[in-house]
Amino acid sequence: MNQRTVSIDSYFSLPTDLAKEMRNWPEFVDGSGYATRLRSESEEVATSLKEHEGERLVYVRGTGDGLLFYRVLGCTLYALACHSDDVWPRVMRRSGDEAGRSGHE
């Protein structure tokens, strides 16, 4: 099963309610604030805000194949950019794939 992860660094100038941004999507299961969970027939995608080595990062994690991961990632980046001076996505290694490894796992 395909696993994808992107971490997003930001100044977090203003809080962003990702759940509010996606609540009306048919794939939305539950969530509040930065934490969301969405599911389609072929994918499950979640967002979360976590600390990693002293940095606050928003994670977008997906399992399965399809376009839901990319829709959630695009929405997350756009919503964060509307509330911050700067946003930096970091593509994480896909399972079994050494390409694109960023050192953050």
Around 46, how many Cα atoms within 13 Å sit in the side-chain half-sphere? 9
Alpha carbon 88 to chain centroid, angstroms: 12
Q: Is residue 93 predicted with pLDDT exceeding 70? A: no
Q: Is residue 101 predicted with pLDDT exceeding 50? A: no
Q: What is the pLDDT of residues 29-51, one digit of tens each?
A: 999 999 999 999 999 999 999 98
Q: What is the pLDDT of residue 21?
A: 98
Q: What is the pLDDT of residue 53?
A: 83
Say if CB 7 and CB 90 are below 8 A apart. yes
Q: Is residue 80 predicted with pLDDT exceeding 90? A: yes
Please give the Cα distance from 92 to 21 (Å, whole number).
Answer: 24
Q: Is residue 2 predicted with pLDDT exceeding 70? A: yes
Q: Is the pTM of this model over 0.95?
A: no
CATH architecture of 3-91: 2-Layer Sandwich (3.30)
Kindly list the domain boundaries of the chain, sorted by start residue: 3-91
Q: What is the pLDDT of residue 92?
A: 63
Average pLDDT over residues 13-17: 91
Residues ≥6 apart with Cβ < 8 Å to 17: 32, 33, 34
27 — pLDDT class (breaks 50, 70, 90): very high
